[in-house]
């Protein structure tokens, strides 16, 4: 689904039209690219897994509404995301709730709404949920998140294998699970592991899933649990930077498939639904951040394009969203090189803010860029406006546009006085 392998002329027509109609900076989400990714996931993993979308990656209500008939489950990480999902038409029974610091009011709201599964991350949370469910005369379905003691190398972020706020350490799991299973107003329906994110290494992903399966085997045997649901945190990454190699899902399926078949054939898991939870891998490459060049200047031997959107609108592309060393995202000038009329040259790209860290690209090789041109940054469909300091210095807020069947729909969620 990488834009480098698709028709950039067609994409540019959509991006240009969105910028003309809705202004910039803007995020444009191409639903046909998400459809392609869903088809790839179904072909590679459909025989084993249902799919769950992690709302944290992109909570846009228009996108959530569009996904409602196309994916099995949602995973939310706050009461606010639950409200967004409900307003987008999602039934509570199709939603799970993950997160390490769930508040009493959030738990009261989702339990009252008949949440599908509450993902328990600590004994404190289990005890509080049991108390709330008892007070309302309910029995809440839960799955317990486990934290493995190791994560293979090859993941952009490790959420286990070290001191972590996420889940119950497997060293502590036997006693904790026994206590949770005995709580009268909770029904233990399964287990959940999400220990590493943003991997582009098939071998690491397969090894991680092997760890999951062994933990699930051992834990379920110890509890004599025949789980209704086991949730695999996918860890599937996307290419952000020049030179990144996109994942080949068929390669992953070919390697891990026989082991998944053997796992499903075990009597304990014969009726278990396996769920693959993913976020950026589904929607990330379908989103483009479009920013307009306001000014071009020469400074001490460098040519600099200064744009109307920077880290305020796209923190991740600026390199300030967890990157250790800043690397350019893949990007292009909308319209390309005008049929060869614009030779390539190196360009620094900055945003509109009064800070030196507001940089979207350094020494980027692009067709010559002039004032008024549009620059499109790839792989921006996840962790966009909702993960950016959009109110910093009070520049215009980014718009969000859904490209749907030839139509452009304004689905901007975060609006201000200037929107």
Q: Which fold has domain 91-278?
A: TIM Barrel (3.20.20)
Q: Are 64 and 74 in contact (CB under 8 A)?
A: yes
CA angle 366, 352, 284 (to 5 degrees): 60
> Encoding tokens for residue 216?
């699930």
For domain 285-410, the question of CATH label 2.40.37.10 is answered with yes
How far is Cα of residue 395 from the mean position of the Cα atoms in its chain?
26
Which is catalytic among the residues 206, 220, 307, 354? 354
pTM over 0.75: yes
148 neighbors 161 (Cβ within 8 angstroms): yes
What are the Cα distances from residue 370, in Å, to 13, 165, 189?
19, 47, 58
End-to-end CA distance of the chain: 31
Query: What residues does 361 pair with on adjacent strands?
Result: 349
Write down the pLDDT at residue 106: 97
Please tell me the predicted confidence (pLDDT) of residue 21: 97
CATH 2.40.37.10 domain residues, the chain: 285-410
Buried b (16+ CB within 10 A) or exposed e, 121-142: bbbebbebbbebbeeeeeebbb
pLDDT value at residue 164: 78
Determine whether 380 is an active site residue: no
pLDDT by residue, tens only, the chain of 419 residues: 444 445 889 999 999 999 999 999 999 999 999 999 999 999 999 999 999 999 999 999 999 999 999 999 999 999 999 999 999 999 999 999 999 999 999 999 999 999 999 999 999 999 999 999 999 999 999 999 999 988 889 787 776 656 778 899 999 999 999 999 999 999 999 999 998 889 999 999 999 999 999 999 999 999 999 999 999 999 999 999 999 999 999 999 999 999 999 999 999 999 999 999 999 999 999 999 999 999 999 999 999 999 999 999 999 999 999 776 789 999 999 999 988 899 999 999 999 999 999 999 999 999 999 999 999 999 999 999 999 999 999 999 999 999 998 899 999 998 876 54
pLDDT, position 368: 96
- What is the 8-class DSSP label of residue 306? E
Q: Closest Cα partner for 225 from 183, 177, 263, 166?
A: 177
pLDDT for residue 1? 45
Taking residue 320's Cβ as centre, other Cβ atoms within 10 Å add up to: 16
Residues of the chain with CATH 3.20.20.10: 91-278
- What 8-state DSSP symbol labels residue 236? B
């Amino acid at each position: 689904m990488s834009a480098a392998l698709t028709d950039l002329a067609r994409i540019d027509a959509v991006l240009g039209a969105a910028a003309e109609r809705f202004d910039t900076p803007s995020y444009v989400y191409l639903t046909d690219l998400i459809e392609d990714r869903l088809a790839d996931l179904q072909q590679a993993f459909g025989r084993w897994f249902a799919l769950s979308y992690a709302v944290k990656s992109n909570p846009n209500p228009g996108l959530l509404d569009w996904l409602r008939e196309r994916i099995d489950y949602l995973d939310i990480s706050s009461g606010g995301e639950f409200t967004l999902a409900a307003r987008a038409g999602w039934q509570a029974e199709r939603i799970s709730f993950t997160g390490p610091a769930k508040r009493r009011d959030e738990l009261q709201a989702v339990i009252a709404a008949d949440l599908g599964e509450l993902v328990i991350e600590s004994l404190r949370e289990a005890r509080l949920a049991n108390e709330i469910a008892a007070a309302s005369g309910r029995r809440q379905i839960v799955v317990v998140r486990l934290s493995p003691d190791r994560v293979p190398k090859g993941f952009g972020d490790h959420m286990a294998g070290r001191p972590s706020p996420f889940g119950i350490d497997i060293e502590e799991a036997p006693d904790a699970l026994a206590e949770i299973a005995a709580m009268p107003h909770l029904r233990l329906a399964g287990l959940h592991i999400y220990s590493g994110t943003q991997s582009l290494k098939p071998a690491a992903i397969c090894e991680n899933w092997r760890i999951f399966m062994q933990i699930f085997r051992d834990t379920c045997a110890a509890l004599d649990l025949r789980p209704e649901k086991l949730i695999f945190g996918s860890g599937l990454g996307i290419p952000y930077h020049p030179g990144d190699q996109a994942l080949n899902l068929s390669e992953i399926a070919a390697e891990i498939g026989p082991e998944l078949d053997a796992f499903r054939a075990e009597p304990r898991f014969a009726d278990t639904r396996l769920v693959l939870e993913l976020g950026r891998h589904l929607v990330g490459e379908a989103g483009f951040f479009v920013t307009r060049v306001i000014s071009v200047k020469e400074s001490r031997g460098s040519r600099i394009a200064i744009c109307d959107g920077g880290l305020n609108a796209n923190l991740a592309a600026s390199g300030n969203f967890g990157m250790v060393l800043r690397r350019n995202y893949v990007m292009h000038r909308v319209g390309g090189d005008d049929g060869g009329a614009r030779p390539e040259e190196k360009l620094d790209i900055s945003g509109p803010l009064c800070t030196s860290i507001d940089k979207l690209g350094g020494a980027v090789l692009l067709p010559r860029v002039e004032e008024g041109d549009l620059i499109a940054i790839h792989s921006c469909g996840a962790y966009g406006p909702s993960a950016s300091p959009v109110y910093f210095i009070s520049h215009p807020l980014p718009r969000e546009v859904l490209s749907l069947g030839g139509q452009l729909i304004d689905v901007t969620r975060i609006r201000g006085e200037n929107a």
